[in-house]
Amino acid sequence: MTASSSFRFAAFTASATIGVLAGAGSYTFVKAEGLSYMSDDPAVCVNCHIMREQYDGWRHGPHRAVATCNDCHLPHDTLLNKLFVKGSNGWNHSREFTLQGFAEPIRIKPGNSQVLEANCRRCHATAVGDITAHGTLGVPSDPLQQADLYGCVRCHQSAGHGPTR
Amino acid sequence: NRNVTIRQAEALQTSFMVVPIDETTVDPAQWGKNFPRQYDGYLRTADKYSTTYGGAGSDGMPKSRLEEDPRLVTIFDGYAFAVDFRLRQGHAHMLEDQRTTKRVTERPQTGACLHCHASNTVAYREAGLRHGAPGALTDAFASSSAQQQLMKGFEEICKLPYEEATMLVSHPVACIDCHDPKTMALRVTKPGFLRGIDALAKSGEPLPHLPSIERWRSGDRAKPYDPNTDGSRQELRSMVCGQCHVEYYCGPKATLFFPWNKGLKVEQIEEYYAEYKFANGAPFTDWTHARTGAPMLKAQHPEFEMWSQGIHARSGVSCADCHMPYRREGAIKISDHHVRSPLLDITRSCQACHRFPESELLARVATIQHRTKMLMDRAEDALVQLIDDLGRSKQAGADASRLQAAFALHQKAQWRVDFVNAENSMGFHAPQEAARILGEAIDFARQGQLAVRDANGR
Amino acid sequence: NRNVTIRQAEALQTSFMVVPIDETTVDPAQWGKNFPRQYDGYLRTADKYSTTYGGAGSDGMPKSRLEEDPRLVTIFDGYAFAVDFRLRQGHAHMLEDQRTTKRVTERPQTGACLHCHASNTVAYREAGLRHGAPGALTDAFASSSAQQQLMKGFEEICKLPYEEATMLVSHPVACIDCHDPKTMALRVTKPGFLRGIDALAKSGEPLPHLPSIERWRSGDRAKPYDPNTDGSRQELRSMVCGQCHVEYYCGPKATLFFPWNKGLKVEQIEEYYAEYKFANGAPFTDWTHARTGAPMLKAQHPEFEMWSQGIHARSGVSCADCHMPYRREGAIKISDHHVRSPLLDITRSCQACHRFPESELLARVATIQHRTKMLMDRAEDALVQLIDDLGRSKQAGADASRLQAAFALHQKAQWRVDFVNAENSMGFHAPQEAARILGEAIDFARQGQLAVRDANGR
Ligand SMILES: [Ca+2]
Ligand SMILES: [Ca+2]
């Protein structure tokens, strides 16, 4: 295991432990929704009505037949990394959901958009080999990161969830 | 850096180096052997076409702007542009069109003209070497020796008469002017741009659409801003075009430069020219108007400057996004090197980002361009009337001293009308800004007419 | 739109009919018992605030536009607006502000003024019944009897002196003016709008942003266009605002009307007024300018008209999308009934569609509004100078017949400046269109000054 993934493993164990110990937050996490993160079935993402908009969008989007939530939103490099991101997202979102403290409209976080773009390119490597060969198209791609706007979603924002306006 | 690893891991070798290319390889056909798809597009820039305001006609000589709008003959009276001024066409024609324009064949011009009409990265460096710059042509472009070669050669070639200088080049803009032959990464190579962007970075003007400059400004500024190392890929997708699609001074009285020291807005450039003095101490001017005797400024294709004022630039949308959209060829995507009007390929140029029908997107462009054209006609009419009034009172022998105010207004009005007219998107790149500039132009032109009447005690 | 259906469902599930409401229920407090969340927002329109150009100040009387821009006193000379003209504030104040403005207390006004400053759906119908319209107040709003009550009552109340008419109403715009009490579906109830949109539908003007009208036009046109049955929900999300945020004629010489018979653009409205004749055969005019004696037009808050020229309207973005954004309360989303400047809630008003930071979106609005303001100042200066010139030559005894051309230009220039100044988004709703209008205004004002000089043989 690489240095980074072993760190991630430690971090994951840590977040999992906190999850178990952390009262109300972890109650929600365990009760249902958090666990959803351990499944690959889109239906369970929408255990949270808060994910409804994205779920519906995905079901009308161009990828409904070919990619589920986790194909795009979880890392597919190492299993550990996948589990780690699942764990921490599940933990964050459960906590946010319980505390209702998150900002709306919900927006993908920098870390997760890196995961996302890696997945676009994982599946479309052939299609985009030429345009990426001489320099990344570029995560971070989310304007909210105050960075340049490049990366797949700059033009394919609707790939995941259909037109958003 | 994580991105880099992803890239190396995932970049599939879909193009093969069949011939070696390096800093000495000017001929696009050579590059084309390695990148046939891009080369095919590049060659197609020879195609002729017309949209309502774009292109230069589908056959024969590019259409004359002077015939399409005779007011321009009055407006440019006494300057080369009144002799021959045409609509632009594809990149493949740039060198030939320059060599054959009456502005060159009937007026003396310098080698500076070539800056934007030929592949001259190598020509400049060779000339630099001939004039004693250090190093060899094979030096990496980024190396200080290569940079010295480039700048020295640029200075020297600018001094040559056009006829001599043009013998030193043989291709329109080519791969090597925008690409690093080793990595194919984008790069800017034109001296005018390298100096212009440096001056712009040093200015106080906020540049939300060029975040790498904002970043550089907030740093220690130890090294000057370098687009090729500091600029992001997305910025370079516009900067490569900004090497040429800009306002410039290109004449015998000073080396070619981009007037960006105070910013990119029409009045900031005007202000810079107002303070600028030629080597001989004379104030800046492009020519003296034949009818009115007022000192004039000439605006040329400020696409980069106007785009900078628009919403697209602020939104990180680059020239290449619209003019070189990705196109699928077989299983893979490439950048369409057939640089042309996006209206000829709305699907790829616009619809990736705008989920509206092609007809609707065309209608949006038409609305913006029509508003701009109507207002521009209004401004040109006002300007021509001012020129007539000034001309008449000069003939009537009114002494120039009393007309100073009117002269100044003539220059301000014409500079603005010309800025929008010379810009090639008929307002699309920055719709409200184009209208604002024309509104000011109208005001200055009409005030000029009032000044003439008042000067003539009436 | 699926999110929308979901929300409707939610709205219904989550609000319980604790009190019955019907076509006779004017008092919002009653409706509020069933829909407390919306009612809370509605009440908050009493809050005072200021943005750079929005709102009317955070305390005390709404700020005076005349004090902020004294040029307006010259521009409106001889008209009520030169006496008292303030910045707008929240809906809660609309009735009181109208009752207390010097335009009402010091100038005679008619009941027509109430059309947009009170909940009068019921007041009109009751008056209609009193004047012999058929049916009962409980008749469904769509029924022909109810429509006859509405229109008859509207005509009658418009004829009353303001003081009498205003006794007939007791609430600012209320739920019943925008909602069907049975279904809570949106509806338009204001006679001026119902007639105006009918005239607009019959016009030849293309209306890409109102597809239901385009559809009606392509049909057999057997029944006149009816926004409440033909209009889409998304269109109604703007039309309910278009009941009041529009240019209008509201005076003693004809029943209140919206001048949309030729289209919504500034010059189309101007053209309609130019052809319009009052009952007594007199040509249309709002007042005669005190300084110049030129016949004038007054523009009022053409938000609906300007929005119609913008990109947002074309993109199907409604007033409510920005001014009544959805906000989540617990498990459901509701429309924020605290109607106000979107700049106070960028996250909900803009970021649902624009993935840019709040600071960036604010900067975009600021850029658009600043460009508009600068150009408007330029236009107002030109207009005031024309008024001065005309005033002077009148005093100097120049005979009016020679000044006809200048009078006409004064009207055209002022109509345009006023159209942008009276519009309440400082250009945001249609940035390029606002600039275009101001560019024309400048041209007409300066031409007017030239006409004055030329008329005085100089
Ligand atoms: Ca120039
Ligand atoms: Ca009016």
SS3 C327: strand
Element (H, E) at C342: none
Q: Hey, which residues does B186 pair with through a beta bridge?
A: B179
Backbone angles phi, psi at B257, to 5 degrees: -145, 160
Q: Hey, which residues does B333 pair with through a beta bridge?
A: B328
Beta-carbon separation of A165 and C315 below 8 A: yes
Of A23 and C371, which is predicted with more confidence? Answer: C371
Peptide bond preceding A140: is omega within 30 degrees of 0, i.e. cis? Answer: yes
Q: What is the mean pLDDT of residues A20-34?
A: 38
B-chain residue closest to A162, CA distance: B355
C-chain residue closest to B354, CA distance: C315
The pLDDT of residue C331 is 72
Beta-carbon separation of B333 and A132 below 8 A: no
Q: Label the pairing between strands C295-296 and C287-288.
A: antiparallel
Q: What is the secondary structure of C393-420 as a DSSP string?
A: HHHTT--GGGGHHHHHHHHHHHHHHHHH
> d(Cα C356, Cα C358) in Å, to the nearest integer?
7
Average of per-residue pLDDT values in chain C: 94
Beta-carbon separation of C439 and B364 below 8 A: no
Q: What is the mean pLDDT of residues B149-172?
A: 97
Of C228 and A157, which is predicted with more confidence? Answer: C228
- pLDDT band at residue A52 using 50, 70 and 90 as cut-offs: confident
Provide the residue count of chain C. 458
Q: Is B277 in CB contact (< 8 Å) with chain C?
A: no
SS3 C86: strand
A-chain residue closest to B12, CA distance: A129
**What is the distance in A from the centroid of ligand 1 to the CA of B247?**
5
**What is the distance in A from the centroid of ligand 2 to the CA of B388?**
39
CA distance A139 to chain B (A): 7
The pLDDT of residue C16 is 67
Long-range contacts (CB closer than 8 Å, 24 or more residues apart) made by B401-408: B402/B455, B402/B456, B403/B451, B403/B452, B403/B455, B405/B451, B405/B455, B406/B294, B406/B448, B406/B451, B406/B452, B406/B455, B407/B292, B407/B293, B407/B294, B407/B295, B408/B294
Q: What is the mean pLDDT of residues C283-310?
A: 97
Q: Which residues in B lie closer than 8 A to residue C439 (C-beta atoms)?
A: 375, 378-379, 435, 438-439, 442
Beta-carbon separation of B332 and A122 below 8 A: no
Say if residue C58's pLDDT is above 70.
yes
Chains touching chain C through at least 3 C-beta pairs below 8 angstroms are A, B
Return the ligand number nearest the Cα of C276: 2
The pLDDT of residue A17 is 38
CA distances from B156 to A109, B127, B129, B144, B164 (A): 52, 7, 11, 18, 12
**What is the distance in A from the centroid of ligand 1 to the CA of B248?**
4
Q: How does pLDDT run across C138-148, given as a tens digit for each residue? A: 999 999 999 99
Q: Is the separation of the CB atoms in B58 and B172 below 8 Å?
A: no
Q: How does pLDDT run across B368-388, given as a tens digit for each residue? A: 999 999 999 999 999 999 999
Q: Is the separation of the CB atoms in A33 and A106 below 8 Å?
A: no
The pLDDT of residue C243 is 98
Which ipTM value was assigned to this complex?
Answer: 0.92
Say if residue C429's pLDDT is above 60.
yes
> d(Cα B275, Cα B283) in Å, to the nearest integer?
8
**What is the distance in A from the centroid of ligand 2 to the CA of C247?**
5
C-chain residue closest to B357, CA distance: C315
Amino acid in the structure at residue C364? R
C425-456 burial by CB neighbour count: b if 16+ within 10 A, else e? Answer: bbbbbbbbbbbbbbbbbbbbbbbbbbbbbebe
- pLDDT band at residue C356 using 50, 70 and 90 as cut-offs: confident
Q: How does pLDDT run across B212-239, given as a tens digit for each residue? A: 999 999 999 999 999 999 998 889 999 9
Amino acid in the structure at residue C89? Q
Q: Is the separation of the CB atoms in B316 and B328 below 8 Å?
A: no
Q: What is the mean pLDDT of residues C219-246?
A: 97
C-chain residue closest to A52, CA distance: C3
Query: Scanning the structure block, which residue is given the tokens 């430690």?
Result: A10
Q: Which residues in B lie closer than 8 A to residue A125 (C-beta atoms)?
A: 10, 12
Q: Is A130 in CB contact (< 8 Å) with chain C?
A: no
Q: Which residues in A lie closer than 8 A to residue B184 (C-beta atoms)?
A: 133-134
Q: How does pLDDT run across C93-119, given as a tens digit for each residue? A: 999 999 999 999 999 999 999 999 999
Q: What is the mean pLDDT of residues A158-163?
A: 86
**What is the distance in A from the centroid of ligand 1 to the CA of B246?**
9
Q: Is A157 in CB contact (< 8 Å) with chain C?
A: yes
C-chain residue closest to B356, CA distance: C315
The pLDDT of residue B39 is 97
Beta-carbon separation of C3 and A53 below 8 A: yes
Q: Is the separation of the CB atoms in B241 and B307 below 8 Å?
A: no
The pLDDT of residue A149 is 62
Say if residue A33's pLDDT is above 80.
no
The 3-state secondary structure of chain B reads: CHHHHHHHHHCCCCCCCCCCCCCCCCCHHHHHHHCHHHHHHHHHHHCCCECCCCECCCCCCCCEHHHHCCHHHHHCCCCHHHCCCECCCCHHHHHHHHHHCHHHHCCCCEHHHHHHCCCCHHHHHHHHHHCCCCCCCCCCCCCHHHHHHHHHHHHHHHHCEHHHHHHHCCCCCCHHHHECCCCCCECCCCHHHHHHHHHHHHCCCCCCCCHHHHHHHHCCCCCCCCHHHHCCHHHHHHHHHHCCCCCCEEECCEEEECCCCCCCCHHHHHHHHHHCECCCCCECCCEECCCCCCEECCCCCCHHHHHHCCHHHHCCCCHHHHHCCEEEECCEEEECCCCCCHHHCHHHHCCCCCCCCHHHHHHHHHHHHHHHHHHHHHHHHHHHHHHHHHHHHHHCCCCHHHHHHHHHHHHHHHHHHHHHHHCCCCCCCCHHHHHHHHHHHHHHHHHHHHHHHHHCCC
Chains touching chain B through at least 3 C-beta pairs below 8 angstroms are A, C
> d(Cα A135, Cα C157) in Å, to the nearest integer?
71
CA distance A123 to chain B (A): 10
> d(Cα B261, Cα B255) in Å, to the nearest integer?
15
Beta-carbon separation of B443 and C374 below 8 A: no
Q: Is A59 in CB contact (< 8 Å) with chain C?
A: no
**What is the distance in A from the centroid of ligand 1 to the CA of B249?**
5
Q: How does pLDDT run across B80-94, given as a tens digit for each residue? A: 999 999 999 999 999
Beta-carbon separation of A114 and B2 below 8 A: yes
Lowest mean pLDDT among A35-49, B185-199, B297-311, B349-363: A35-49
Q: What is the mean pLDDT of residues C243-269?
A: 97
- Percent of chain B's residues with pLDDT above 70: 96
Which candidate from B315, B434, B443 shows the least CB-CB separation from C378?
B443
Return the ligand number nearest the Cα of B272: 1
Please provide the distance, in angstroms rounded to a whole number, between the alpha carbons at the two ends of chain B.
73
Q: How does pLDDT run across B314-355, given as a tens digit for each residue? A: 998 999 999 999 999 888 899 999 999 999 999 999 998 998
